[in-house]
Amino acid sequence: MRLTQFQTNFSVGELDPLLRARTDIAQYQNALEEATNVVVQPQGGIKRRDGLKFIYDFGSSFTAFKLIPFEFSVNDSYMLALVAGRIYVFKAGVLQTNINSSGNDYIAASSITAAMLDEMQYTQAVDTLILCHEDLQTKRLVRNSDTSWTLANLPLTNVPKYAYAFDTHMPNYTITPSATSGNITITASANTNDTGTAQGGSSSTITLKSSSSYTSDDDPNGMFITLTSGTGSGQTRHVEDYVASTKVLTVYPAWDTAPNNTTSYKVEPFAASAVGEYAQVTSTFGRARYVEFVSATVMKAVVEVPFFDTSGVIAGNWESEHGYEDVWSSTRGWPRSATFHEGRLYFGGSKSRPNTVWGSRVIDYFNFDPGTGLDDESVEATINTNQLNSINNVIAGADLRIFSTGSEFVVIQSEDTPITPSNFLIRPQTRLGSKPGVPIEDLNGASVFVQRQGKSLNAFQFGSGTSSYQVQQISVLSSHLMKNPVDLAARRSTSTDEADRLFVVNGDDGSMSVYSILVGQNVIAPSVFTTDGTFEAVAVEISETYVIVKRTVNSATKYYLEKFDDSLTTDSAKSGTSGSSVTMPHLQGKAVQIIRDGIVEPTQTVGASPHTITFASAATATHQVGLNYTVQAKTMPTEPVLASGSVQGVKKRIVQVDAILNRTKDLTINGKQISFRNFGEDVLDTAIQPFTGVKTAHGILGYSATGQITLTQSVPLAMTVLGLEYKLSVGS
C-alpha cells in the first residue's frame, strides 16, 4: 500500500522519547524526533541555526564565567564578562581597553572569586549595576563612559538588625518615656555611672577599680561599659554580670583586645551601640526601639507597642533586649539577590537570613531605615512555612515575585496600592522551587525559571481565570533536553520570522536547549544546539546573544567569547568583505570551512604561526572562515491514520520526498544530496543561489520499522525547510 503524507510544520520541535507511543496527541504529527542545530520559525518551518562569531580568547587561565548584559541607553549597551578578579567590558562585540586609564583591558575586581560566579545575581538601574553573592560584600558597578567604570561597595545605611544572640537583662535603673507613642526619648536615671582605671581583665571580664560605687551584684547589670584609654581603648560592651565582692564585671560579647591595669573605663546606662536594641516593659505594656544615641542617659526611640503612660518605669519592671547585629556583614554574610521594584531596592535572602526579604525606603535605594513604619519607610518580611525556603532570587513583575528552593511567593498588590510596611505580606503560590545559580528571566510577563532539581523549565505567571499565580511547564514535552541546566537567557523576537527564544545551557554535556516560543499561538518548539566544544554560559544584550564556549584547540583547553550572528553559518568564525586570507590563531590545528563570495572552498587546517588561511581565489564581496557544525532534523516515526488501525509493527519505506524550501542552498534527505545547481556555463565557480520552492528526492531505498525522514547538510550553507510531503510504502 502506498500513501501520501504531509508534515505541514515542525512547530512542536524535538519531542521527548517518552512520548514515542503517543501517536494520538496532536503534537505528534508536527514534532521531530531530533532537531539539532536548527531553530523553529513562528510559521512552523525549521532553519539552520545562526553561526557563532569569534569575539575574544580568554585562554586557559579562567575556567568560571558570568555574562551580564548592561544597557545604559539606546546607543550604549554592553556585555560584561566576569571572571575571578576581573570584569571585561564589550561594546558591540569589541573589547573596551585601557579601562580607567590603568593600562588594563578589564575592571579590577579582586574580591570576586571563581567560586562566586555560579550563584552571583545582579540587578541594574540606569548607570548602576548591583552585584550580589552571600560571600561578597554587595558591590555597585557604575558606568561613567565606555572605558571609565567604578566598582565599589554599595553604600548601605541603616542596615537592618537581627538578634542572632538574643539576650535580655533587667537593668538596675529607671527609664522614663517622653510620650506613650510615636517618636520619643527615653531617659535613664542619672546616678548610675562609674568611671576609673581597671585593676585587670581577661578575654570577657574587667576588674573595676577597688573603690567602685557598685556595691550590689545587680548595680551595673544591663548597662554599657566603654574602654576610654589604655589597652583595648575604644571598645564598648554590654554588662552581662557583676560580682560586687571581687569587682569583676563580665561583658558580652567578649573583648577584641582584653583590658589590663592600664585601661580606663566608664559604665553608663546608654552607649551608641544601643541603637537597634529594645526597651520592653514587663509590668504593664510598652515596647520601643532605640534609633539614636543622644547621651549616656538619653536615647531617641520609636514606640512599637504604646506605653501605658509617661511615668518612670522602675528597675525590675522593664528589660533590655540586646544581641542585635547587622544582618549583612563579613560575619553574617551578604544579600543573595536584588531587584528594583516600585521605587525600592529589594534584597532577597542572605547567608544568615536565607528566607527574609528587605526593601529600602522609597526613592532612597540604599537606606533601610524602618523609621516609625510610615508608608515610604523600609519593609521587611520573613517567610516561615513548614519547609525550608531559601530565597534564590527576587523579580520585579506586576507584583514582587520571590523564588526559593522550596516554593514561589508573591507580594500581591491591587492596582492602586503600593507596598508599605503595613501591607508587606508574602503569600505562597506554587511549590516547585527554583535551582540556585540559574537566572530567572522575564518573558511576556512570565518569570521563567528552572525547577530546583533541574528537571523542568517553567513559566510563573498570573492566571486571570484562577486569580492566582500558576506554573506552566514549558518543557513538559521535551524534558529529556533538560540536562542539569547551569545558565539561562531569554531573547525577544525582533521580526516576524523569528520567535522569542530561551537558551538553556546544560551542564551535563555542554549542549544548549533552545526553546522557540510564540505565546499568541501557544507554540513551544525546542531544539538542541551543539558545537565543537561545550557551551558554558549565555546572556542576551538586547538582541545579541553571547556565549562562553570551551574548546579544545591545539591540545589545550580554551575559553572563548562568541556571539550568534545570522550572517554566519560556521562557529568561532571570522568574517569580512574582500580579501585573500584571514588569520585564525584561536583555531590552530582545527579543520575549518571557508565560504568565499558564497562559494564553499575545500576545508583547510589552521597551521602554526602565522595561522593564515589563504583562499583559493580572493574574495570580492564576502568571506567567512570557521568550524562546521552538524545539522540534523529527523521526523517522528510515521503513523498514518488508517481505518485498519496502527502500522507500528509493519515495515515501511519512504519512496519519495518533496521538501518545501525557502532560500535554501544545501540539503540532504535520507542520504540523498539535493542538487541546487543547474547545468550551464561557469556554474562551478559561482555561488549557489538560494532556492525557494519544492525539491524532490527520488529513489530512496530501504525498508525500516519507522519510516522516518532525516534532513542533514553536507556544507555550511543556508537551509530553511517549511514542510515535507512524502510518499510512503507500507508493506506486510
Tens-digit pLDDT profile for residues 500-557: 999 999 999 999 999 999 877 778 999 999 999 999 999 999 999 999 999 999 999 9
Contact 457, 473 (CB under 8 A): yes
Contact 528, 515 (CB under 8 A): no
Residue 732 confidence class, pLDDT cut points 50, 70, 90: low
The whole-number pLDDT of residue 372 equals: 76
Structure-block grid coordinates of residue 389 = 525556603
Amino acid at 226: T
Mean pLDDT of 699-712: 89
Residue bearing the bigger pLDDT, 705 or 327: 327
Secondary structure of residue 264 in the 3-state scheme = strand
How far apart, in whole angstroms, are the C-alpha atoms of residue 321 and residue 278? 5
Straight-line distance from the first to the last Cα atom of the chain, in angstroms, rounded to the nearest whole number: 9
Q: What is the residue whose three cell numbers read 570551551?
A: 550
Mean pLDDT of 433-444: 94
How far apart, in whole angstroms, are the C-alpha atoms of residue 188 and residue 177? 9
639-651 pLDDT, tens digit each? 887 766 777 778 8
How far apart, in whole angstroms, are the C-alpha atoms of residue 439 and residue 488? 6
Contact 367, 157 (CB under 8 A): yes
Mean pLDDT of 421-428: 92
**The pLDDT of residue 104 is above 70:** yes
Q: Greatest CA separation found in the chain?
A: 117
The whole-number pLDDT of residue 192 equals: 73
How far apart, in whole angstroms, are the C-alpha atoms of residue 138 and residue 153? 6
Amino acid at 195: T
How far apart, in whole angstroms, are the C-alpha atoms of residue 148 and residue 99? 6
Amino acid at 95: L
Contact 565, 51 (CB under 8 A): yes
Q: In what order do the strands lie in the sheet with 278-281?
A: 161-169, 318-326, 278-281, 287-295, 298-305, 183-188, 175-177
H or E segment and range at residue 115: helix 114-117
Residue 200 confidence class, pLDDT cut points 50, 70, 90: very high
The whole-number pLDDT of residue 57 equals: 97
The whole-number pLDDT of residue 696 equals: 95
Residues in contact with 375: Cβ distance below 8 Å, sequence separation at least 6, in sequence order: 362, 418, 420, 421, 422
The residues pairing with 80 across neighbouring beta strands, listed in sequence order, are 68, 89
The whole-number pLDDT of residue 669 equals: 96
Q: Is 87 exposed, middle or buried (0-12, 13-18, 19+ CB in 10 A)?
A: buried
Q: Is 191 exposed, middle or buried (0-12, 13-18, 19+ CB in 10 A)?
A: exposed
Phi, psi dihedral angles at 479 (to 5 degrees): -65, -20
Residue 720 confidence class, pLDDT cut points 50, 70, 90: very high
Kind of pairing, strands 31-36 and 13-14? parallel
**The pLDDT of residue 680 is above 70:** no
How far apart, in whole angstroms, are the C-alpha atoms of residue 534 and residue 512? 9
Looking at the chain, the whole-number percentage of residues with pLDDT higher than 70 is 98
The whole-number pLDDT of residue 684 equals: 57
The whole-number pLDDT of residue 679 equals: 54
The whole-number pLDDT of residue 324 equals: 86
The whole-number pLDDT of residue 52 equals: 98
What are the boundaries of each domain within the chain?
2-49+631-730, 161-326, 437-530, 571-627
Contact 73, 80 (CB under 8 A): no
Looking at the chain, the whole-number percentage of residues with pLDDT higher than 90 is 80
Residue 466 confidence class, pLDDT cut points 50, 70, 90: confident
Residue 1 confidence class, pLDDT cut points 50, 70, 90: confident
Residue 700 confidence class, pLDDT cut points 50, 70, 90: confident
Amino acid at 104: N
CA dihedral 139, 145, 146, 152 (to 10 degrees): -20
**The pLDDT of residue 440 is above 70:** yes
Q: Is 679 exposed, middle or buried (0-12, 13-18, 19+ CB in 10 A)?
A: exposed
The whole-number pLDDT of residue 172 equals: 87
Half-sphere exposure of 364 (CA within 13 A, CB side): 13
CA geometry: angle 610, 616, 618, nearest 5 deg: 85
How far apart, in whole angstroms, are the C-alpha atoms of residue 1 and residue 15? 28
- Taking the CA atoms of 296, 300, 304 and 308 in sequence, report the sign of the dihedral they define: positive
The residues pairing with 485 across neighbouring beta strands, listed in sequence order, are 506
Secondary structure of residue 1 in the 3-state scheme = coil
29-59 pLDDT, tens digit each? 999 999 999 999 999 999 999 999 999 999 9
Q: Which of 551, 619, 614, 621 is nearest to 583 (CA)?
A: 614
328-378 pLDDT, tens digit each? 999 999 999 999 999 999 999 999 999 999 999 999 999 999 877 889 999
Q: What is the DSSP string of 136-169?
A: EEEEEEEEEETTEEEEEE---BS--EEEEEEEEE
**The pLDDT of residue 671 is above 90:** yes
The whole-number pLDDT of residue 647 equals: 76
The whole-number pLDDT of residue 170 equals: 87
280-316 pLDDT, tens digit each? 999 988 999 998 999 999 999 999 899 999 999 999 9
Q: Is 289 left (phi over 0), alpha (psi -120 to 50) or beta?
A: beta
How far apart, in whole angstroms, are the C-alpha atoms of residue 418 and residue 414? 8
Over the range 599-609, which residues count as b (16 or more CB within 10 Å of their CB) and which as e?
Answer: bbbeebebeee
61-87 pLDDT, tens digit each? 999 999 999 999 888 999 999 999 999
H or E segment and range at residue 251: strand 248-252
The whole-number pLDDT of residue 632 equals: 98
Contact 316, 170 (CB under 8 A): yes
- Taking the CA atoms of 653, 655, 658 and 663 in sequence, report the sign of the dihedral they define: positive
Look over the chain and give the mean of its residue pLDDT values, rounded to a whole number: 93
HEC string for 221-258: CCCEEEEEECCCCCCEEEEEEEECCCCEEEEECCCCCC
How far apart, in whole angstroms, are the C-alpha atoms of residue 621 and residue 720? 24
Mean pLDDT of 551-570: 97
Residue bearing the bigger pLDDT, 700 or 568: 568
Mean pLDDT of 445-457: 95
Residues in contact with 69: Cβ distance below 8 Å, sequence separation at least 6, in sequence order: 77, 78, 79, 80, 539, 540, 541, 542
The whole-number pLDDT of residue 190 equals: 67
Q: What is the DSSP string of 630-655?
A: --EEEEPPP----TT---TTS-EEEE
How far apart, in whole angstroms, are the C-alpha atoms of residue 346 and residue 339? 5
How far apart, in whole angstroms, are the C-alpha atoms of residue 439 and residue 392? 9
Q: What letter does residue 386 receive in the DSSP assignment?
A: S
Mean pLDDT of 389-417: 92
CA dihedral 276, 282, 285, 291 (to 10 degrees): -10
Contact 40, 525 (CB under 8 A): yes
The whole-number pLDDT of residue 416 equals: 77
